[in-house]
Structure 1
Amino acid sequence: MGGVRGRDLFADGRFRLLFLARTISVLAAAFGPVALAFGVLDLPGAGATTLTIVLTAQTVPQIALMVFGGVVADRISRTRLMLTAELASAAAFFGLAAMFVTRHAPVWGIGLLAAVTGIALALYYPALTGVVPEIVRDEHLQTANGVLRLGVNCARLLGMAAAGGAVALVGAGWALGVNGVGLVVSAALLAALRPTPGTNRGRTSMVSDLREGWREFASRRWLWVIVLQFSFVIAAMQAGFGVLGPVVAKADLGGAPAWSTILVGQGLGTMAGVFVAIRLRPRRPLLVATSMVFAVALPITLLGIGAPVYVVALGAFVTGAAFDVFGVMWETTMQREIPREALSRVAAYDGLGSFMFGPLGLLAAAPLADAVGAHHALLLCAALIALVTVGALAVPEVRNLRAPTRVVDDRAVAPG
């Protein structure tokens, strides 16, 4: 691995604790969506509308408070904020578990606790982006981000595989309890991690911090261009993978087993993509990273033209690999280019902007399929991804941003 190897990173006890905390958190969190969905649908009289209410209660505060989470993460210790968020989320999942186990689960109560988990995520993720460069040296950031993603991808695949069986075997309530236990373990590991210092911004108001974060975000053209690009990419992915893909898989490819094969292909691709991302040291990281986004349109295009399931799964593998190459390079570039005292706020604006059109993609998928057919709708989604990616690459700041010389030239980086 260019410049520093994974085992060299693990020699650092602080990185080791962060890796374990993040991996265990994702492993536990994989149980939540499956258990919550089937737990709600098993309630007397519940249906798709009930589940939509609960998921909306979880998603809206997560998106709405993301920027607030970035402000808080730039004011106080990021590791302590992550710990607090994990404990709050664990308490909510234990509450949900108790509701489903006792069969006393009013929808308003489920929605309230689901909202707590959404708030916890809004606090956790901006802090996570900012905490990595506080633990890892600049020239090792790309390897560290790749190693963290490797743990996340493994945990997510394992969790997704185990979650359905756990719900079927012990019920949704106990599976939600497993989620809570995992988050407590993650919090304990974060507690063992020496707290990162806050930036002591107590003399400024929250509004001033928001404005300063926005200035840092808006002043970098490469940053807001790619975030704008991804607002459309995510919307197209939500429509393609969330609605249209399953519709085509059910109608033409054999249903759920075929769709599972495609998703497994994508998951395996993310594993391969991490190893590629760790080794790549391009002089123009955003040129390489943004070019990877073209691959996101590949499985959507293959579904649209009616390709066999194994061909679509292969395309999904390429997408998974390319998406992780983009993710590692994007996170690393932000961590190198953004001042650390503003990094969490900028990451929050990144998350808010990237996902702001996602719900619209979900809402537009069905009407679009009714109007032009699911296959043509998928091709339109793929065309949108390609078009906005061409637009992003047309911006000189995206193509020409260069990585530091010490990062590109492995010979200038001392291992460990």
Structure 2
Amino acid sequence: MPGLETTADRSAEWPLRTPAFRWFFAGRSISTAGSFMAPVALAFGVLDLTGSSAWLSAVLAAAVIPMVATMLIGGAVADRHPRDAVLRLTSLGAGVTQAGVAVVLLTHQPPALLLPLSALNGVFQGLTTPALRGILANLVSGRALQQAGSLLATAGNTARILAPSAAGLLTASVGGGWAIAVDAVTFPVAAACFARIALPGPPPQAGSMLGDLAEGWTYFRTRTWIWSVTLAFAVFNATTMGFWQVLGPVITNHTIGPTGWGLALSARGAGALSAGLILVKVPLPRRPMTPALTAMALAALPLLLLGTGTNLVWLSAATFTAGVVAEFFTVVWVTVTTTHIPERLLSRVGAHDEFWSFLAMPLGQIAASALTTVAGATTVAVAGSGLGAAAMLLAALVPALRRLELNSRAV
């Protein structure tokens, strides 16, 4: 197709030599930069508009519930249609909904309007995530997979450093709506980058959409090495992450403020960036899952320190550590799943992984406010961090994960 870049050089040792990957890398990096501004801006924007942690919980859950509900369908869609086309359409939809959120915050409209906008944004995220999980296998192969994942993570983590701090400064000075507006603009720009990719369509599917979903579910449930990690992250996301997203802005709103909260989140990005830069060059262990899961237990540390009232320096040190271990796990998991799951099933199986691991997060977000009222922020934070760490350590003991090797066939 004239004017479009193809994937002819998929076997390149260095993924940036492949034109299609370069356009994907550019588009993904741009949209990620805006997306890392959004959590800070949205949290303090909602608190400024409503003064209520319950409203914040509701808005966050309004996005996560539709996102999770859409993921399984998104997996089947991404395995049936060109993944670059899926990403173009979902990026445009996400841009429109984020623009609506920005208008509500900037013009101080009733907060109830944020709920349908957040829900629509969650739908587009749910369709996007499975396509992202599968598209790397269309762009690069072999040894370049780890490098491609690390490059994407490095760009994302650079944004994770800069974007929250910028969002905190914008929110503290002119309001969170402007940071959300910046995020809205990044989506159509990313869609333009994805339009420069020309992926071949997947082979024709003989069965129905329901048959595709059933096939993905069968593969997922019969692989202990996949579902055990998913179960661990369901617990971690419900407690550690769900509580963190609500308690963080609520607690810091009266202590270090949006600027300090943005800096703490940026420290996590700095840790992830450091790990990503190392992992671009350093090979992963032959059996990587046990060390990756064991290290992930440290990602629960920031919630523990948040609840015990530590200062910004120690909180930032903890988030930096969490960024390092989370990045290590992410690169390991992307490499392992892309290597061992058949390419035609990647999006569907990845959708099940995302669906079940994130299903409990809105429950954690909704419960955080209620539990804090009953037991206090310190108790909720300490309990949440303990449960999250325990889930990771227990998963590290699963025999199928301890035996899993990068260069062998998973069972």
TM-score range, shorter chain: 0.7 to 0.9
5 Å-filtered alignment, 1:272-283, equals 272-278=274-280, 279-283=282-286
1:277–1:329 Cα contact (<8 Å) kept: no
Distance 2:52 2:297 in 1: 37
Q: Which residue of the other structure, out of 187, 191, 209, is the alignment partner of 2:195?
A: 191
**2:32 aligned with 1:22, yes or no?**
no
Q: Which residue of the other structure, out of 362, 365, 368, is the alignment partner of 1:362?
A: 365
What TM-score results when the alignment is normalised by the length of structure 2?
Answer: 0.84
1:11 is aligned to 17
1:234–1:355 Cα contact (<8 Å) kept: yes
Q: 1:305 to 1:86 in 2, by over 3 A?
A: closer
2:97 is aligned to 92
CA offset at residue 287 of structure 1?
Answer: 1.7
Select between 111-120 and 316-325 the one with higher mean Cα deviation.
111-120
Q: 1:204 to 1:401 in 2, by over 3 A?
A: same
1:276–1:325 Cα contact (<8 Å) kept: no
Distance 2:311 2:114 in 1: 41
Local SS of the residue matching 2:327: helix
Structure 1 or 2, whichever has the larger Rg, is: 1
Q: 1:301 to 1:31 in 2, by over 3 A?
A: closer
For 1:271, the aligned partner's letter is L
2:138 is aligned to 134
What TM-score results when the alignment is normalised by the length of structure 1?
Answer: 0.83
1:121 is aligned to 125
**2:327 aligned with 1:321, yes or no?**
no
Distance 1:39 1:56 in 2: 16
**2:390 aligned with 1:384, yes or no?**
no
Q: Which whole-Å deviations, capped at 9, do the CAs of 1:45-64 have from their partners, x for residues lacking one? A: 78555555544433321111
CA offset at residue 238 of structure 1?
Answer: 2.7
- Which residues of structure 1 form unaligned runs of 5+? 1-5, 406-416
1:92–1:113 Cα contact (<8 Å) kept: yes
CA offset at residue 236 of structure 1?
Answer: 2.2
Q: 1:7 to 1:301 in 2, by over 3 A?
A: same
Q: 1:386 to 1:185 in 2, by over 3 A?
A: closer
Local SS of the residue matching 1:192: coil
CA offset at residue 312 of structure 1?
Answer: 3.8
5 Å-filtered alignment, 1:7-406, equals 8-36=14-42, 52-97=57-102, 103=107, 105=109, 109-166=113-170, 175-201=179-205, 203-238=206-241, 240-244=243-247, 259-278=261-280, 279-302=282-305, 309-366=312-369, 368-369=371-372, 373-404=376-407
Q: Which whole-Å deviations, capped at 9, do the CAs of 1:339-392 have from their partners, x for residues lacking one? A: 111111111111111112222323444555556554444333333233222321
CA offset at residue 90 of structure 1?
Answer: 1.9
For 1:58, the aligned partner's letter is A
2:40–2:167 Cα contact (<8 Å) kept: yes
2:237–2:361 Cα contact (<8 Å) kept: yes
CA offset at residue 109 of structure 1?
Answer: 5.0
Quick one: percent identity of the two aligned structures?
A: 34
Distance 1:300 1:18 in 2: 34
Q: How many residues align?
A: 396
Select between 165-174 and 70-79 the one with higher mean Cα deviation.
165-174
Select between 203-212 and 317-326 the one with higher mean Cα deviation.
203-212
For 1:392, the aligned partner's letter is A
CA offset at residue 286 of structure 1?
Answer: 1.1
Q: Which whole-Å deviations, capped at 9, do the CAs of 1:182-203 have from their partners, x for residues lacking one? A: 11111111000113422322x3
For 1:84, the aligned partner's letter is L
Select between 307-316 and 55-64 the one with higher mean Cα deviation.
307-316
Local SS of the residue matching 1:200: coil
Select between 366-375 and 212-221 the one with higher mean Cα deviation.
366-375
For 2:208, the aligned partner's letter is S
Q: Which whole-Å deviations, capped at 9, do the CAs of 1:126-157 have from their partners, x for residues lacking one? A: 00110001111122211111110111111233
1:244–1:377 Cα contact (<8 Å) kept: no
Query: What is the RMSD of the two structures over their aligned residues, measured on CA atoms?
Result: 3.2
1:298–1:319 Cα contact (<8 Å) kept: yes
Local SS of the residue matching 2:14: helix
1:244–1:365 Cα contact (<8 Å) kept: yes
CA offset at residue 104 of structure 1?
Answer: 8.9
Q: 1:243 to 1:394 in 2, by over 3 A?
A: same
Distance 1:280 1:305 in 2: 37
Distance 2:187 2:207 in 1: 32
Q: 1:173 to 1:365 in 2, by over 3 A?
A: closer
CA offset at residue 209 of structure 1?
Answer: 1.1
1:79–1:196 Cα contact (<8 Å) kept: no
2:13–2:143 Cα contact (<8 Å) kept: no
Q: 1:352 to 1:12 in 2, by over 3 A?
A: same
2:264–2:316 Cα contact (<8 Å) kept: yes
2:168–2:262 Cα contact (<8 Å) kept: no
Q: Which whole-Å deviations, capped at 9, do the CAs of 1:213-269 have from their partners, x for residues lacking one? A: 101111110100010011111122135523455676678x76666655543332221
Distance 1:316 1:362 in 2: 19
Q: Which whole-Å deviations, capped at 9, do the CAs of 1:86-138 have from their partners, x for residues lacking one? A: 1122233344455666x495656543333322111111110011000111112
Distance 2:135 2:391 in 1: 31
- Which residues of structure 2 form unaligned runs of 5+? 1-11
